[in-house]
Structure 1
Amino acid sequence: MIDWIIAQQGVLCVALLLLIGAEHFYTRKMGVLFTYKLWFFVPVLLVLNNLPFNMMAIPSNNFTRFVVGVKPSVEHMELNVLFSLWAIGVSAISAYVLVHHFSTWRSISKQKAVQTNAYYSSKAITPMLFGFIAPKVLLPYTFKSTFSLSQQALVLEHEQVHRTHKDHWWNTLALCIAIAFWFNPLVWLALRSFRVNQELACDHVVLQNKTQADKLNYAKALVQCAEHCSSTINLYPTFGEKSTMIKRLNLIQKPKTGSKMLGAAALTIAALLTANTTLANVPPPPLKGADAKINEAMPVKRVEPAYPTKAIKENLEGYVVFKFDITETGATDNIEVVKSSPEGVFDKTAMIAFKQWQYKPAIKGGASVRQKGLLVQLDFKLAPEPLNAKTKVKAKEKLSSSSM
């Protein structure tokens, strides 16, 4: 799993850097709706980066043997340290999201507010669209006293646009990506930029046919909400996010039509990145002659299996033969026991250790490729008993007599 997480970082970082830059510097020039739609390329690139092209792998009949002996202390790791840290982070953030969602859900009043599917909530500091599947509009209890009737209509229209854009689904997907790659700071910066583009896109739809008076009312409502809104990333779309207020007010004051030339350039870059990601995963055609030679399957990291206590007590020796693949990153994969002797004695400890082995990836045509069907045998051998004093004397006498 940790190998898959690491393998995604290259394409993910490039895509996020480009999109963050587009949000910061080119939103006005490209158009808010167009810039928001560009974020769709993030899940597309992740999917393309994981297409099963590696099924076209290099077959191999490479067979190697390694001897496993009894050591005074054996390092025994059930889980990779990096995987453990990643899993702890994922669990902690997921728990926070679930607790926050549950507490917000419990705060929803059973009595509907000013319209159908709008409810009051003590957790709603500003109007917000709540829920991942069947979203509801949540309103603060001060909604009617804070906003005029015209402002109330505009705010509710804004939340309806979020629902129309299926922003609750896109936010769920964005949050899942952020949780999976929580250790990458670019992911959290990108999540904030994504939410900025999301709010700007909703503002544009709401105000595109409105009068100047409506736009002024909308701006005032935005300022009123921003005064009470937190600056942290919220799990759900909220009307008055403080961090985006300045950009939103500027675009309300000076709306600008997007440049078609700049939009075409952005699409070209996105298409090139998409094509490069797809082609990078396609294995090169088979080569002939000297160029067809690949790296021998040599481990660069070996984890010594634990010699079973029962086997030591019963003075048992044996072996385990594995059939396995080597991934593009050098990790072992699709491991299965082909043969073992005595059967079932050494299988478990050998499997636990061998899953942590790391090999030098095979290189073909300048790119790393998967190797399939390799064989390895781990021989479990007990070390000879140490010589005692009497045995050493007899051995010396035998050696001296044989030399004469």
Structure 2
Amino acid sequence: MSLWLLQQTLLLSLICSILLLGHSRLQKHLGAHKTYTLWMLLPLLLLSSILVNYVPTQLFPVQSNQIAYYSVQAGKAIKQSESSWYSQALTVIWLIGLSTMSLALWLQGAYLRTLLQTAKKVEGLASYLATYSHEKVHSPMLVGVIHPKIILPTGFVNLSPLQQRAIIEHEQYHHQRLDLSCNLLAYGILAVFWFNPLFWIAYRRFRNDQELACDAKVTATLDTAEKIVYSKLLLAYSQQANHGLLHTHYGNKHILKERIMQMRTHQQGQSGLAVIGLTVALGLSSLLLNQQVLAGDDKNPDIHPVIRIEPAYPAAAVEANQNGFVVMQFDITPTGEVNNVEVIKSSPTAVFDASAIKALKQWRYSESKTGAKGSLVQLDFVVEAPVSNIEKIKVTSK
């Protein structure tokens, strides 16, 4: 888990840096809508890192007449035993942070449920979503992923029809675009990687881009005078805006200037093909970066392992500084399961056999029509890795 978190935080930090540093240029050339859409790269990259173990690879194929070799190093087990307290402490700290983030989300959900219980329903508005008002709400917001509702300030009824329509359209566009679900997803990623400061900056930029995209949608058909009215509305509601994790925030004083400047320039952005191209390129890059080197089957090049479980190095062998190997023969079923595992050679005899058999039985291969019979694999158990400047030659018999 720790290794996965480290790998993903490095990759996602790179993507966040690109989106943050290039934000102004992206906003200028792509527009608010497409720039906001680019943030979906982060969950897509995470999804690819999870699915990559189930994606067959032919990057490093093994010839059909070769045995598959794998090295099992005791150094990993030694390091794990020496630093177990350290890794356990880091895991506890990470879990505390994750629990705190989860608690904050739950508390806000409880607060919003209490708020809705005392809110008053507002009738007569041109909205397909249920609308309510509450004296504790100082800025319009959309709440509820499953049953969405718009909560308005009590003074909303005193606004002009144009202002009311603009606010309702803004919140309804949040709903149409599933922004609340996106917010939950973004917060979930933040909760997992809470230890990375860059993710907090990216999360805030994501939420701000969300509002910019809604502004662009609402003001697309407004004339200059109507945009001025809309700008004054933003100014009024940004002073005491309700910020939260489970609802949108119409008023946002932190990017007020940026929102008003966007209405003046009204950048529509280029074709969506640019976004699609960038998304595909980064998605493929993530698959390559996350891809593990998997060896092919020795009999059928179309069958390759999708899950490999590394054997545990026997504690007695570690203490005795003992190396060895195990050669096993096995069958692969059409569904990819391993059975009929048999040790055909091992050295020292019976020292590493049990550990090797237990691990191999948990391996899974890609599905095929006929499976494979008599596949061979050799697991080399090495206490210490060879020195890098020593020439290594593999000798095989014909």
Provide the TM-score with structure 1 as the length reference. Answer: 0.63
CA distance 1:360–1:138, change in 2 (3 Å): farther
Q: Which residue of 1 aligns with 2:44?
A: 44
Matched residues in 2 for 1:91 and 1:75: separation?
24
Q: Single out whichever of 275-284 and 49-58 deviates more from structure 2.
A: 49-58
* Conserved? CA contact 1:126–1:238, under 8 Å: yes
Q: Which residue of 2 aligns with 1:150?
A: 162
Q: Single out whichever of 93-102 and 159-168 deviates more from structure 2.
A: 93-102
Which structure: larger Rg? Answer: 1
1:271 to 280, 289, 311: 280
Q: Which residue of 1 aligns with 2:268?
A: 257
Pairing of 1:232-311 with structure 2 (within 5 A): 234-260=245-271, 268-280=277-289, 281-283=291-293
Q: Which residue of 1 aligns with 2:62?
A: none
Offset of residue 63 of structure 1: 9.4
* Conserved? CA contact 2:142–2:149, under 8 Å: yes
Q: For residues 315-354 of structure 1, what are the alpha-carbon distances to aligned partners after superposition, in whole Å with 9 as ceiling and x for unaligned? A: xxxxxx756769xxxxxxx89xxxxxxxxxxxxxxxxxxx
Offset of residue 129 of structure 1: 0.8
Counterpart residue identity of residue 149, structure 1: P
Matched residues in 2 for 1:203 and 1:221: separation?
12
1:14 equivalent in alignment to 2:27? no
* Conserved? CA contact 1:192–1:233, under 8 Å: no
Identity value in percent: 27
Matched residues in 2 for 1:267 and 1:136: separation?
32
> What number of residue pairs does the alignment pair up?
300
Pairing of 1:312-391 with structure 2 (within 5 A): 322=355
Offset of residue 223 of structure 1: 0.7
Q: For residues 86-125 of structure 1, what are the alpha-carbon distances to aligned partners after superposition, in whole Å with 9 as ceiling and x for unaligned? A: 0000111111111122112201235312445111234422
Q: Secondary structure at the match of 1:36?
A: helix
Offset of residue 64 of structure 1: 7.0
Matched residues in 1 for 2:55 and 2:284: separation?
20
Matched residues in 2 for 1:220 and 1:16: separation?
32
Offset of residue 150 of structure 1: 1.9
* Conserved? CA contact 2:16–2:202, under 8 Å: yes
Matched residues in 1 for 2:194 and 2:279: separation?
24
* Conserved? CA contact 1:45–1:274, under 8 Å: yes
RMSD, aligned α-carbons = 4.1
Q: For residues 183-223 of structure 1, what are the alpha-carbon distances to aligned partners after superposition, in whole Å with 9 as ceiling and x for unaligned? A: 11111111111112111111111111123332222111111
Q: For residues 57-106 of structure 1, what are the alpha-carbon distances to aligned partners after superposition, in whole Å with 9 as ceiling and x for unaligned? A: 976486979xx9xxxxx999597111100000011111111112211220
Q: Which residue of 1 aligns with 2:205?
A: 193
Q: Secondary structure at the match of 1:129?
A: strand
1:178 to 175, 180, 190: 190
Q: Which residue of 2 aligns with 1:103?
A: 111
Structure 1 runs not aligned, ≥5 long: 69-73, 289-295, 305-320, 327-333, 336-358, 363-404
* Conserved? CA contact 1:158–1:202, under 8 Å: yes
Counterpart residue identity of residue 174, structure 1: A
Q: For residues 24-81 of structure 1, what are the alpha-carbon distances to aligned partners after superposition, in whole Å with 9 as ceiling and x for unaligned? A: 443133211111111121111111122243787976486979xx9xxxxx99959711
Matched residues in 2 for 1:275 and 1:47: separation?
12
Structure 2 runs not aligned, ≥5 long: 58-67, 299-309, 319-353, 364-382, 387-398
* Conserved? CA contact 1:113–1:120, under 8 Å: yes
* Conserved? CA contact 1:56–1:283, under 8 Å: no
* Conserved? CA contact 1:128–1:139, under 8 Å: yes
Provide the TM-score with structure 2 as the length reference. Answer: 0.64
* Conserved? CA contact 1:132–1:168, under 8 Å: yes
Matched residues in 1 for 2:119 and 2:269: separation?
43
Matched residues in 2 for 1:137 and 1:156: separation?
8
Matched residues in 1 for 2:18 and 2:71: separation?
44
1:113 equivalent in alignment to 2:119? no
Offset of residue 134 of structure 1: 2.4
Matched residues in 2 for 1:243 and 1:213: separation?
24
* Conserved? CA contact 1:107–1:122, under 8 Å: no
Q: Secondary structure at the match of 1:93?
A: helix
* Conserved? CA contact 1:128–1:138, under 8 Å: yes
Pairing of 1:18-29 with structure 2 (within 5 A): 18-29=18-29
* Conserved? CA contact 1:133–1:169, under 8 Å: no
Matched residues in 2 for 1:226 and 1:112: separation?
23
CA distance 1:29–1:61, change in 2 (3 Å): closer
